[in-house]
Structures are given as C-alpha cells and as structure tokens.
Homo-oligomer: A and B are copies of this chain.
Amino acid sequence: MSPERPDGLGAGAHCPLPLSDYPRVVLGHGGGGKLTEQLIEKLFLPAFDNPFLNKRHDGAVLDMGPMKLAFTTDSYVVRPLFFPGGDIGTLAVNGTINDLAMCGARPAYLSAGFIIEEGFSMETLWTITRSMARAAASAGVVIVTGDTKVVDKGHGDGIFINTAGVGAVERGCAIGPGSVRPGDAVVLSGDVGRHGMAILSAREGLEFESMIESDCAPLAGPVLRLIEEGIEIHCLRDLTRGGLAGALAEIARAAGARVDIDESAIPVREDVRGACEILGFDPLYVANEGRFAAFVAGKDAGRAEEVLRAFPPCAEAGVIGRVRESRTGLVVMKSRIGSDRVVDSLSGEQMPRIC
C-alpha cells in the first residue's frame, strides 16, 4: 500500500503487493481459500476501507435507525446448473439466506439479479425461477426486487445469478470471529462433503454406489432457535467454498485463537468418503451448502447440540472441538490414528464453480 494515499482512499495508485505476483485473476481468486483472502485483504479492503468489511464476516450488520440490519450478497456461477439435491436457483436462495443466518439475523427479503447469455433456454429459466420461488417460500423469505441483463452469445455461460439479502438482527449479539474466546466449543451441524461431491459427480458424469445429493438447505431455522434458547453464540460460519477446514482456519486466523478439533467427531457419510478417496479429495475441504459451525460458550455446548438435533438436517450435530488459550491462530486436528496435524485453508481452488 502506498504511504501517500493520494486520494484518501487508503491505497495508492498502483495495485498493491503481493497481488502484483498475480498480474491476472486466476480461478483460485474465487476459490474461497488463501488467494481469495489475499484478494480481499490486499485489494478490496484497502479500496473500500470501512469497519463493516474489516470484520471479515459473511455479511454486514448495520445500524439502520433504531434497528440492526444484516445485509449480504453472493453471486452463483455453479456448473452444472442442475445437480442431485438442487439447482442454481435453490443455491442462490439458500446460500444468501444462510449468510444472513450466520449474522444472527432472521432472513426477510432477497433481491435477484440475473445475467443471462443470449440463447439461453426460456424453459430452463422458468424452471430455475420456480426453484428460487419454492426455496424462498419454504424459508419464509420474499424476493422483492430484481434485475435482468442479457449478454451476447459467447460472453457469458448460460446464467449467473446474484442474490442479496436483508434481515433483522433480533438480539444485539455480536457474532463474528472477534467474539471467539478460549473455552468456546465448536459445534458442527451435520455431516460434511455432500454438496461438493454431488456437483462433481454431476459435472463429470461419475456414478458412485449411491447417488450423492447436495446438502443444500436453509439454516436460519436452527440458528434462530439457538438464539431463542439463549445459547451464547460467539461465531457462526456456513461451510461453503473451502469446506469445514477452510472455515475453521479462517476463523482461527481472524480471531488469533488456537482451535483443536477431533477428526473422529466429524461425520462424513460412507459414500462421500468413498467418492473422496477415489477422487483424491479430503472431505474436510469439500464445500457444503447446508452445514455450519457454531462457536458457542463452553458451558452451552451440550444444550447447543440438543437444540440443533431437533432439526432433521442437523440430527448429527455435535461438538467437534474447543478453542484453546494459545494465540497461534491455528487449527490443530487430532486424526483418527491419534496424530496431530495443522489444518490450513487451501491456497487456490479445489473445485471451481461449486456455487
């Protein structure tokens, strides 16, 4: 960053290092791992410098008059558009609902922005639109505003969808990496790895012993119940790009806290484990679309498990780790065979265009 800040924008006229190591954007910059983090840290944060972005959360919590409002956005570029357990429409609604839920907010309203490539099938657009409507209705949110752009053939890829969402933060809980503290329990809401493997099997036409379906689901219900039950929640994160490992590594780093987790406590379905083994993936890094990790006060760990398990998609919820006194900012996992290893986020892209 240039020290002069000639325009008062918190950054100089030239692209900041170490982005100059990457003169061009690579797929990994959108992968949710270290390259994405670097792009945010070195480019977006210096340019847009403000306390909301600096919190590095899934969405922003804003003071709007007398209320606290959560506001978030995501674009969806998943390929293929349809996959076992969902489609780009389901994903575009649930993904943004989940980012609001991770702010401790009750999702209320969504926007929908479509970028469609000329020649895209109208029937497919209709099918996707109806998926969005169904997902919104079943989560109790309303799609209230939208926009459609069409780009000339060869300059898009069928359809991209952006959704933004707003919701009210009903209690003044400060949920985010900054609230994580030693003694917190890490509660995982269910088995991991299904969404990524569902996409990959659909994309590559792979057939495993059983059909792996995406776990795509709205998470606001279980999260709001945790809040209503008075569970002291310090941080929430849905386990999308980068998977469980990426999310925990990012939170540990942002919080400057050491997080110890136990591999044997992390549920992975047998078919997902098998598919991962065949393809050389680690299920801990595979994207999910209906799973989250909650950092809760240690005293509330048992109750949090119990509350979550009442929701069918969270039937396997359980404590998988603890935050330690050490300030290393690392995630350390005790493996099934008893050894310890550091779990870090990936540098680039394990599976492009997963969401």
Residue positions of A touching B, CB distance < 8 A: 7-9, 11, 14-16, 19-20, 22-31, 36, 39-40, 43-44, 47-50, 52-53, 59-60, 62, 64-67, 69, 71-77, 108-109, 111-123, 125-126, 129-130, 132-134, 136-137, 142-152, 154-157, 160, 162, 164, 166, 168, 349, 352-353
User: A122, B15: Cβ atoms under 8 Å?
Assistant: yes
- Please, which residues of chain B bring their CB within 8 A of the CB of A26? 118-119, 150
Q: A145-B71, A162-B73 are in contact. Are A352 and B25 (CB under 8 A)?
A: no
A25 touches B122 (CB 8 A): yes
Asked whether B52 lies within 8 Å of A142 as measured between CB atoms, the reply is yes
- Residue in contact with A116 in the complex, picked from B30, B65, B74, CB distance below 8 Å: B30
Contact of A25 among B19, B75, B112, B116 (CB under 8 A): B116
> Other than the known A9-B137, A48-B133, what 18 A-B pairs have Cβ atoms closer than 8 Å?
A22-B122, A24-B119, A24-B122, A28-B150, A30-B148, A30-B149, A30-B150, A47-B130, A48-B132, A62-B166, A64-B69, A64-B168, A71-B166, A72-B145, A73-B145, A74-B147, A115-B162, A162-B162
Residues of B contacting A134 in the complex (Cβ-Cβ under 8 angstroms): 7, 9
On whether the beta carbons of A25 and B130 are closer than 8 Å, the reply is no
- Name the one of B22, B75, B168 contacting A65, with C-beta atoms under 8 angstroms: B168
Q: Nearest residue in B to A116 (C-beta to C-beta)?
A: B25
Q: Separation in Å of the A242 CB from the closest CB of chain B?
A: 13
- Name the residue of chain B whose CB is nearest to the CB of A21: B122
Decide: B64 and A126 in contact? CB cutoff 8 A.
no
Interchain CB contact under 8 A, B19 and A122: yes
Most buried by B among A19, A48, A155: A48
Q: State whether B75 touches A109 (Cβ < 8 A).
A: no
Q: A26-B118, A27-B118 are in contact. Are A157 and B151 (CB under 8 A)?
A: yes
Is A164 touching B111 in the complex (CB atoms < 8 A)? yes
Between-chain CB contacts (< 8 Å), 7 pairs: A9-B133, A24-B120, A29-B148, A64-B64, A64-B166, A71-B144, A77-B149
Closest partner residue, chain B, to A353 (CB atom): B151
Q: Is the CB of A73 within 8 A of B116?
A: no
CB-nearest residue of chain B to A165: B164
Q: How far is the CB of A137 from chain B (nearest CB, A)?
A: 7
Residues on B with beta carbons closer than 8 Å to the beta carbon of A150: 25-31, 349, 352
Question: Residue on B with the closest CB to A352?
Answer: B152
The reply to whether B75 and A118 contact each other, CB–CB distance below 8 Å, is no
The minimal Cβ–Cβ distance linking A147 to chain B, given in whole angstroms, is 5
The reply to whether B62 and A65 form a contact with Cβ atoms under 8 Å apart is: no
**B72 near A69: Cβ-Cβ < 8 Å:** no
- Contact of A23 with B65 in the complex, beta carbons under 8 Å: no
The 6 closest A-B pairs by CB, nearest first: A30-B150, A164-B164, A73-B111, A60-B144, A52-B144, A162-B162
A40 CB → nearest B CB, Å: 8
List of B residues within 8 angstroms of A59 by Cβ: 145
What residues of B have a CB within 8 angstroms of the CB of A11 in the complex? Answer: 130
**Closest residue of chain B to A76, judged by CB?**
B149
Distance of A115 from chain B, by nearest CB (Å): 5
Q: How far is the CB of A87 from chain B (nearest CB, A)?
A: 14
A31–B8 Cα distance when bound, in Å, is 37
Taking the closest CB of chain B, its distance from the CB of A167, in whole angstroms, is: 9
